[in-house]
Each structure stands twice: as C-alpha cells, then as structure tokens.
Copies of this chain bind each other. A is one copy, B any other.
Amino acid sequence: MPNRPNPFAKTRRDHADETAEDYVEAIADIEMASGSCRVKDLSERMQVSHVTVTRILSRLSDAGLVAREPYGPVGLTPRGLEMAAASRTRHETVVAFLERIGVSNATAEHDAEGMEHHASKETLEAMRRYLRHDGSAMTEEDAGNRQ
C-alpha cells in the first residue's frame, strides 16, 4: 500500500473548470482595463489561437458564464461576474502571499496563475492569516535576519 493514500484523486479532473475560471478572470481584467473585451484580446492574453478562444467561449456561453454574440464583444453574465470576483480575490491572495515570502512580483503572478486553482479554502485562510499577522514584507535579506 502506498504510504500516501490518495491525496491525488480529483487533482486530475477539473481542467475544464480551471479554464473557465481563467477565462472569466481574464475577461473581467480586460474589460476593466480597456472598456471591452474581444476574442482577439483573449487570444493574445492566453497565447492561443482565436479559434481556441472562440470554442471555449462558446462552451462558457452554454454554461451561462459568458454573454456572447457573433462578431461582438465578450461579456460576463451575473454568474460570470461572481466567478470573476471570487477568482480575483483568490488570485490576489496568492500573489500577495508569494511576494510576502520573498518571491518577485513577476514570478508571483506567474506561479499564482497555476497555483490558485489548487489552493483549498484552508490553505487560502492560512495565507491570509499569515498576511494579517506578519505585516512586514520579507526580502531575501530579511529572511536571513529573521529567526
């Protein structure tokens, strides 16, 4: 018997859900930054072809997260907005946490993008607790001086 029973399991499902969150988050970001979101914006952001974006948007539209009309801009439904807000909060928690332990902003943004989908409620709470109670940013030097 494996000594680590099956902490795995679900990890390998949910890829489609992660995609949904990433897209919804990106749409909210882009709308916020430039006023409206187009397929092109998403294909650049996600670094995939516009074809891939179109197909995924169509799935998200069926799922009731995205509002879409041919050749038009991409919008979020109320449910999409909800998901975007939750994703954003979680994303910001992970980024802030990584920076706090000394990771550069660029790396924190990059790693958070992947990690955020796997941080459970409990882990996110631990991160927030850490952010609340350890007020100082930790640089490499700080880390050396701490004890």
Given A111-B119, A123-B103, A123-B107, residue A11 in contact with residue B2 (CB < 8 A): no
The one of B9, B34, B45, B103 that contacts A47, using a Cβ cutoff of 8 Å? B9
Query: A104–B9 Cα gap in the complex (Å)?
Result: 18
Residues in B neighbouring A78, C-beta threshold 8 A: none
Q: Are B48 and A12 in contact (CB under 8 A)?
A: yes
Instruction: With CB as the reference atom, state the residue of chain B lying closest to A5.
Output: B45
Tell which of A61-69, A79-87, A124-132 binds the partner: A124-132
Interface of A is mostly: helix
CA distance A88 to B122 in the complex (A): 23
Q: In whole Å, how far is A120's beta carbon from the nearest beta carbon of chain B? A: 5
Q: Once the chains bind, are A2 and B45 in contact (CB under 8 Å)?
A: yes
- Listed in ascending order, the chain A residues whose CB lies under 8 Å from chain B are 1-4, 6-12, 15, 19, 22, 26, 29-30, 32-34, 41, 44-48, 98, 101-104, 106-115, 117-120, 122-123, 126-127, 129-130, 133-135, 138, 140, 143-144, 146-147
- From B1, B6, B29, B144, contact of A4 by CB (8 A): B29
